[in-house]
Amino acid sequence: MSNPSVPIQSDPSAHSGVKALKCRECGRRYELLAIHVCEFCFGPLEVEYDYEVIGRKISRKSIEAGPVSLWRYKDLLPVLGEPTAGLHAGMTPLVRADRLGRALGLKNLYVKNDTVNHPTLSFKDRVVAVATTRARELGFTTIACASTGNLANSVSAHAASCGMECFVFIPHDLEAGKVLGNLIYKPTVVSVKGTYDDVNRLCSEIGAEYPWAFVNINIRPYYAEGSKSLAFETAEQLGWRVPDQVVVPIASGSLLTKIWKGFHEFTRLGLVDENPLLKVNGAQASGCSPVYQAYVSGKNHIVPVRPNTIAKSLAIGNPADGFYALDVVGKSGGQVEQATDSEIIDGMKLLAETEGIFAETAGGVTVACLKKLAEKGAIRPDELTVAYITGNGLKTMEALAGSLSQPVSIDPNLSSFRQIVNPKS
Amino acid sequence: MSNPSVPIQSDPSAHSGVKALKCRECGRRYELLAIHVCEFCFGPLEVEYDYEVIGRKISRKSIEAGPVSLWRYKDLLPVLGEPTAGLHAGMTPLVRADRLGRALGLKNLYVKNDTVNHPTLSFKDRVVAVATTRARELGFTTIACASTGNLANSVSAHAASCGMECFVFIPHDLEAGKVLGNLIYKPTVVSVKGTYDDVNRLCSEIGAEYPWAFVNINIRPYYAEGSKSLAFETAEQLGWRVPDQVVVPIASGSLLTKIWKGFHEFTRLGLVDENPLLKVNGAQASGCSPVYQAYVSGKNHIVPVRPNTIAKSLAIGNPADGFYALDVVGKSGGQVEQATDSEIIDGMKLLAETEGIFAETAGGVTVACLKKLAEKGAIRPDELTVAYITGNGLKTMEALAGSLSQPVSIDPNLSSFRQIVNPKS
């Protein structure tokens, strides 16, 4: 078993555009190891690329000739060799959402639909595909995570498909679908009596003691980059174009910052024209909205909260990348909105009834916040807008208890049916 | 509202390869209307194509340039205009299954994974995409179905996304996930006190009285063709090749016959080389195995049964296409196998633990029968084999109650964790 402090590193390809890890705060550079925090200033580490090298390798044509998965963008992902996990993640549909748009007064609306991501139906399959491939390059044989649910599902599935040992840590009050969606793959599921923030803190301690790849802790710099694929796919699926407005749910904040980064990388490489209009908007649940609170109070630091929301996948009270998400929103001229539990349910129903897409509670948050942004004119009717729907509704069925009408029950004969309905003609 | 006996027909393209409906028994031809049974001999109607016309339009190159959905095979689907529903259905991953293969002694195994089909996570999204598009061409504004669950989910979602009226009829004892997976889209859900076969009989009567498009009754000839896309995609994803062995679950039997038809159409059009080895194997649950019973007793007629199985999506005791499925199995030299409830659960777990794919009970049936076929040498180790996994496990969570280990519960501190685990190094 490898030791996390001296991981076995794959031979970096001489032509790889992946250069180093770099501290976001002090700029200090590190080798491409299983580390995530600057030893000097405690800033977060991020992957640094050589865009000149990448620019010589990548083109619209090379991407279009690639696999139907996020690995078509491999040159912009932090792995050194070929992918070995999550080969089918990504390339989910970008759905033209005219009926939802009409309901909201928007004429140019799309939904990026990760409710059908492979294999575990959430955007986490993107980050885990990248993290697992990188963890294996670094020699790890055990993979682990702290999770609000979707991440644990994805880590468990990817570990199973690779034959890796697996530990997933979840808060004790998760939805049944998300718990079962771990157990079926037979990892060790550790249910922690506390919030996600407690789970996360505990996992940092465990990570210091056990030689495991915690995808969202010591592997985080690589893991987080997987989210850029949502921007890459959006741009390609729009016909190589950057949208005017995006609406992104905020949990840790990482997803929002990486979508921004993805559009900027595509622009920098000349794969798309720059769109100076691009605004990045954040969506939070009112029951856990530390980034929204900072945004409305005009502060640039995040005050942690104790979550109390049905949107459990967004229930991170102390978001690791909250500050950076706030920064992106501000720089782009976007906004942060929040939605109450009942607005979340209404958002889930609206998306299902207009577009036939059954999203989990986080998707309800996104739709509810999109609605608010449209109503107040922050998103104008003609703007090219993309809403990110990040997980499937079958995982959060409890949230809908009592909110939907029930089936009509009849006997198996025509007269019983006639009693409940009249012909519409 | 149109009347089903005189539907409004779209202008057929002069170049369309879709010719007519034709009785499978007596060969009598009919116009391309909302009918499914021969008026003279009561045989089922099937779509007839002009393969010369299609051959002039279709090529590997034209297909590869098409959309990332089943509509890339539009020339072989029974619609006359452009698709208007289910634009993102199909093109699900074909997963190389080396770890499952090792467990079963198979060296060349793939899983066609419709657990992530768009939008409702089963192969029914294929047939409903085609049926809904055709129903709209025929002028219908209300869409309906008799369903064991997955079909109702898909019809409800597609109706919502098109703004159509929707009635779905289900047996009263369906899994909670499948019921909720209808209600969220706000169709009229009619729960019938009886089996699927009762539901189906009732819907035939309702269809004669109400001007609705019942996708699997009066629209059935068009609907069923959508399943061919599973064969088309398999062949393309294998690098334009027909496998040696396929294993397909049997409910009505339609899916199995259409996968066979799809491979033969591709061969006839020269898109793939003929593979005379191709064997089509059927998989049923022991609790509802009328086709298996006919197969093992050497009969060519199906004796209806009363279903009693956890594989509710396969619980059709009187399968409409059972005879034809049996015929295809026989012609191809394949076999039919069956799996008990506990073997089904074991199949679901094996697939999840080896490949990270969480299938519903029907997928457990397929894997369990694949295992039996491999064990008895009906599928040899080197044969190129594809198992069809048709729906997602989150819809049939009840079936796993008591079958999985539970999470380990701890307090949020390191000493509590240390008590449950030792480092593996």
* Confidence tier at A14 by pLDDT (50, 70, 90): low
Give B68's contacts in chain A (Cβ within 8 Å).
68, 91
How many CA within 13 A on the CB side of residue B95?
Answer: 32
Give A423's contacts in chain B (Cβ within 8 Å).
209-211
Torsion-angle region of B253 (φ positive above 0: left; ψ -120 to 50: alpha; else: beta):
left
**In a shared domain, residues B260 and B226:** yes
Is 60 exceeded by the pLDDT of residue B423?
Answer: no
Give B164's contacts in chain A (Cβ within 8 Å).
none
**Can you tell me the distance from the alpha carbon of B130 to that of A105, in angstroms, rounded to the nearest whole number?**
30
pLDDT of residue A324: 97
Q: With an 8 Å Cβ cutoff, are B193 and A412 in contact?
A: yes
Q: Å from B269 to nearest chain A CA?
A: 25
Q: Is the peptide bond before B423 cis (omega within 30 degrees of 0)?
A: no
**Can you tell me the distance from the alpha carbon of B115 to that of B358, in angstroms, rounded to the nearest whole number?**
8
Among chain B residues, the shortest Cα distance to A395 is held by B394
How long, in residues, is chain B?
A: 425
Of A179, A206, A400, the CB nearest to B180: A400
Q: Å from A413 to nearest chain B CA?
A: 6
Q: Å from A164 to nearest chain B CA?
A: 10
C-beta separation of B316 from B255 below 8 A: no
Among chain A residues, the shortest Cα distance to B117 is held by A116
Of A161, A192, A421, the CB nearest to B412: A192
User: What would the mean pLDDT of B238-264 be, rounded to a whole number?
Assistant: 98
pLDDT of residue B9: 45
Give A236's contacts in chain B (Cβ within 8 Å).
none
Last residue of a domain, one of B195, B220, B245: B220
C-beta separation of A204 from A44 below 8 A: no
pLDDT of residue B66: 96
**In a shared domain, residues B231 and B293:** yes
User: What would the mean pLDDT of B260-282 be, rounded to a whole number?
Assistant: 98
Residue A302 lies in a domain: yes
Among chain A residues, the shortest Cα distance to B99 is held by A161
Looking at the DSSP bridge assignments, the partners of residue A281 are A247
**In a shared domain, residues A373 and A240:** yes
Could you give the angle at the alpha carbon of A390 between the alpha carbons of A331 and A289, nearest 5°?
Answer: 55
Q: Å from A198 to nearest chain B CA?
A: 6
* Confidence tier at B285 by pLDDT (50, 70, 90): very high
Which of B71, B72, B99, B116 best probes binding to A when mutated, by most A CB atoms within 10 angstroms?
B116
C-beta separation of A191 from A176 below 8 A: no
C-beta separation of A158 from A86 below 8 A: yes
Any idea what DSSP says for residue A175?
Answer: -
Q: With an 8 Å Cβ cutoff, are B392 and A394 in contact?
A: yes
> Checking DSSP bridges between strand A336-339 and strand A279-285, what pairing results, if any?
parallel
**In a shared domain, residues B174 and B239:** no
Q: Is the peptide bond before A119 cis (omega within 30 degrees of 0)?
A: yes
Of A159, A170, A412, the CB nearest to B198: A412
* Confidence tier at B16 by pLDDT (50, 70, 90): confident
Residue B45 lies in a domain: yes
% residues pLDDT > 70 (chain A): 96
Of B157, B190, B205, the CB nearest to A408: B190
Of B113, B349, B406, the CB nearest to A184: B349
**In a shared domain, residues B22 and B147:** no
Give B423's contacts in chain A (Cβ within 8 Å).
209-211
Instruction: Show Cβ contacts of residue A133 under 8 Å, excluding neighbours closer than 6 positions.
Output: A79, A83, A84, A85, A86
Give A183's contacts in chain B (Cβ within 8 Å).
404-407
**In a shared domain, residues A391 and A262:** yes
pLDDT of residue B252: 97
Residue B344: name the closest of B319, B367, B326, B327 by CA.
Answer: B367
**In a shared domain, residues B344 and B330:** yes
Residue B405 lies in a domain: no
Which of B1, B96, B184 best probes binding to A when mutated, by most A CB atoms within 10 angstroms?
B184
Give A66's contacts in chain B (Cβ within 8 Å).
none
pLDDT mean across residues, chain B:
95
Any idea what DSSP says for residue B11?
Answer: P
Any idea what DSSP says for residue B12?
Answer: P
Is 60 exceeded by the pLDDT of residue A12?
Answer: no
Residue A164: name the closest of B353, B144, B251, B6 by CA.
Answer: B353
Is 70 exceeded by the pLDDT of residue A9?
Answer: no
**In a shared domain, residues B104 and B230:** yes
pLDDT of residue B401: 87
Residue B334 lies in a domain: yes
Burial class (CB in 10 A: 0-12, 13-18, 19+), A20: middle
% residues pLDDT > 90 (chain A): 93
Q: What is the DSSP string of A105-158?
A: T-SSEEEEEGGG-TTTSBTHHHHHHHHHHHHHHTT--EEEEE-SSHHHHHHHHH
Among chain A residues, the shortest Cα distance to B88 is held by A93
User: What would the mean pLDDT of B105-111 be, rounded to a whole number?
Assistant: 98
**In a shared domain, residues A347 and A228:** yes
Phi, psi for A315 (deg, rounded to 5):
-85, 65
Which of B167, B185, B344, B351 best probes binding to A when mutated, by most A CB atoms within 10 angstroms?
B185
Number of domains in chain B: 3
A128-185 per-position pLDDT tens digit: 999 999 999 999 999 999 999 999 999 999 999 999 999 999 999 998 889 999 999 9
pLDDT of residue B304: 97
Q: With an 8 Å Cβ cutoff, are A410 and B192 in contact?
A: yes
**Helix or strand run (H / E) with residue B110:** strand B109-113
* Confidence tier at B5 by pLDDT (50, 70, 90): very low
Give B121's contacts in chain A (Cβ within 8 Å).
116, 121, 392, 394
Among chain A residues, the shortest Cα distance to B116 is held by A116
State the complex-level ipTM: 0.95
pLDDT of residue A2: 37
Burial class (CB in 10 A: 0-12, 13-18, 19+), A377: exposed
Q: Å from A409 to nearest chain B CA?
A: 5
Which of A186, A233, A396, A417 best probes binding to B when mutated, by most B CB atoms within 10 angstroms?
A417
% residues pLDDT > 70 (chain B): 96
Residue with tokens 């019983």: A416
Phi, psi for B248 (deg, rounded to 5):
-130, 130
A254-295 per-position pLDDT tens digit: 999 999 999 999 999 999 999 999 999 999 999 999 999 999
State the amino acid at position A171 in one-letter form.
Answer: P
**In a shared domain, residues A380 and A275:** yes
pLDDT of residue A405: 92
Q: With an 8 Å Cβ cutoff, are B185 and A161 in contact?
A: no
* Confidence tier at A329 by pLDDT (50, 70, 90): very high
Which of B111, B394, B397 best probes binding to A when mutated, by most A CB atoms within 10 angstroms?
B394
Last residue of a domain, one of B197, B220, B243: B220
Could you give the angle at the alpha carbon of A183 between the alpha carbons of A124 and A190, nearest 5°?
Answer: 85
User: What would the mean pLDDT of B320-336 be, rounded to a whole number?
Assistant: 97
Of A185, A354, A424, the CB nearest to B165: A424
**Helix or strand run (H / E) with residue B283:** strand B279-285
Is 90 exceeded by the pLDDT of residue A10?
Answer: no
Burial class (CB in 10 A: 0-12, 13-18, 19+), A86: buried
Q: With an 8 Å Cβ cutoff, are B191 and A408 in contact?
A: yes
Of A186, A190, A206, the CB nearest to B407: A190
Residue with tokens 């030791």: A3
Phi, psi for B211 (deg, rounded to 5):
-80, 60
Any idea what DSSP says for residue B37?
Answer: B
User: What would the mean pLDDT of A54-80 be, rounded to a whole number?
Assistant: 97
Last residue of a domain, one of A196, A220, A244: A220
User: What would the mean pLDDT of A392-418 be, rounded to a whole number?
Assistant: 94
Question: What's the predicted TM-score (pTM) here?
Answer: 0.95
Is 80 exceeded by the pLDDT of residue A75?
Answer: yes
Is 60 exceeded by the pLDDT of residue A73?
Answer: yes
Of B158, B180, B417, the CB nearest to A397: B180
Q: What are the angstrom distances between the C-alpha of B145 and each of B13, B77, B167? A: 28, 20, 7
Q: Å from B7 to nearest chain A CA?
A: 14
Residue B66 lies in a domain: no
3-state secondary structure of A392: strand
Residue B251 lies in a domain: yes
Q: What is the largest CA-CA distance in chain B?
A: 78
Residue A6 lies in a domain: no
Could you give the angle at the alpha carbon of B92 between the alpha carbons of B48 and A134, nearest 5°?
Answer: 160
Q: With an 8 Å Cβ cutoff, are B424 and A400 in contact?
A: no
Give the number of beta-carbon pairs within 8 Å between A and B: 257
**Can you tell me the distance from the alpha carbon of B8 to that of A16, in angstroms, rounded to the nearest whole number?**
59
A150: containing domain: 123-220
Q: Å from B297 to nearest chain A CA?
A: 32
Q: With an 8 Å Cβ cutoff, are A190 and B424 in contact?
A: no
User: What would the mean pLDDT of A65-81 be, rounded to a whole number?
Assistant: 97
Residue A278 lies in a domain: yes
Is 70 exceeded by the pLDDT of residue A11?
Answer: no
Cβ atoms within 10 A of the Cβ of B105, count? 14
Q: Å from A163 to nearest chain B CA?
A: 7
**In a shared domain, residues B16 and B163:** no
Phi, psi for B300 (deg, rounded to 5):
-110, 15
3-state secondary structure A31-73: CCCCCCECCCCCCEEEEEECHHHHHHHCCHHHHHCCCCCHHHH
Q: With an 8 Å Cβ cutoff, are A180 and B353 in contact?
A: no
Of A117, A202, A421, the CB nearest to B414: A202
Looking at the DSSP bridge assignments, the partners of residue A188 are A167
**In a shared domain, residues B181 and B309:** no
Of B163, B165, B205, the CB nearest to A414: B205
Q: What is the DSSP string of A398-416?
A: GGGTTTSPPPEEE-SSHHH
C-beta separation of B407 from A170 below 8 A: yes
Residue B292: name the closest of B173, B174, B372, B386 by CA.
Answer: B372
Of A355, A394, A410, the CB nearest to B395: A394
Which of A358, A405, A414 best probes binding to B when mutated, by most B CB atoms within 10 angstroms?
A358
Is 70 exceeded by the pLDDT of residue B263?
Answer: yes
Burial class (CB in 10 A: 0-12, 13-18, 19+), A148: buried
Give B199's contacts in chain A (Cβ within 8 Å).
412
Q: Which residues of B212-230 are buried (b: 16+ CB within 10 A; e: fewer)?
A: bbbbbbbbbbbbbbbbbbb
**CA-based R_g, chain A, Å:** 21
Q: With an 8 Å Cβ cutoff, are B202 and A358 in contact?
A: no
Q: Å from B291 to nearest chain A CA?
A: 25
State the amino acid at position A225 in one-letter form.
Answer: E
**Helix or strand run (H / E) with residue A280:** strand A279-285
Instruction: Show Cβ contacts of residue A386 under 8 Å, excluding neighbours closer than 6 positions.
Output: A94, A109, A110, A111, A112, A234, A238, A243, A245, A246, A247
User: Which CATH number is A385's domain given?
Assistant: 3.40.50.1100
* Confidence tier at A43 by pLDDT (50, 70, 90): very high
Instruction: Show Cβ contacts of residue B14 under 8 Å, excluding neighbours closer than 6 positions.
Output: none
More confident residue, A409 or B6: A409
Of A95, A118, A121, the CB nearest to B93: A118
Which of A199, A353, A395, A420 best probes binding to B when mutated, by most B CB atoms within 10 angstroms?
A353
